[in-house]
């Protein structure tokens, strides 16, 4: 059975000024995992997510998902109207896998 790995961070206030902001330990861990597994960088994934759904990033996860067969970044983005969206970016290819409205 595969072990599910999740790296998560929430920092809305800092995100509004700098894009993606996480605690230094979280940033190092995301970079360590992404570099070790030959994944695209957090910065590259962020650019793809914001291109697909403009707004402010509220949260980001790097996760090995068994349903999609691989690593992806999940971004929670708040758009100009205050709607929340989940944008999934394939961490290998940079392809936007899915965009869905977060209703809760």
- Give the domains, in start order, of the chain with CATH numbers: 6-102 (3.10.450.40)
pLDDT band per the 50, 70, 90 thresholds, residue 63: confident
pLDDT band per the 50, 70, 90 thresholds, residue 86: very high
**Contact by Cβ (8 Å): 72, 61:** no
pLDDT band per the 50, 70, 90 thresholds, residue 91: very high
pLDDT value at position 6? Answer: 41
Q: How far apart are CA 75 and CA 84, in angstroms?
A: 10
Q: How far apart are CA 103 and CA 84, in angstroms?
A: 7
Q: How many CB atoms lie within 10 A of CB 60?
A: 27
pLDDT above 90 (res 97): yes
pLDDT value at position 83? Answer: 94
pTM over 0.85: no
Provide the β-strand partners of residue 87.
75, 99
pLDDT band per the 50, 70, 90 thresholds, residue 22: low
């Amino acid at each position: 059975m595969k072990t599910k790995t999740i790296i998560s961070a929430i920092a809305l206030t800092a995100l509004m000024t700098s894009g993606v902001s996480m605690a230094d330990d979280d940033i190092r861990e995301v970079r360590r995992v992404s570099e070790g597994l030959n994944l695209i960088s957090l910065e590259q994934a962020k650019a793809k997510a914001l291109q697909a759904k403009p707004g402010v990033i509220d949260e980001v996860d790097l996760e090995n998902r068994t349903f999609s067969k691989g690593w992806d970044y999940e971004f929670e983005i708040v758009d100009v109207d205050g709607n929340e969206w989940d944008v999934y970016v394939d961490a290998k290819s940079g392809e936007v896998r899915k965009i869905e409205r977060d209703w809760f």
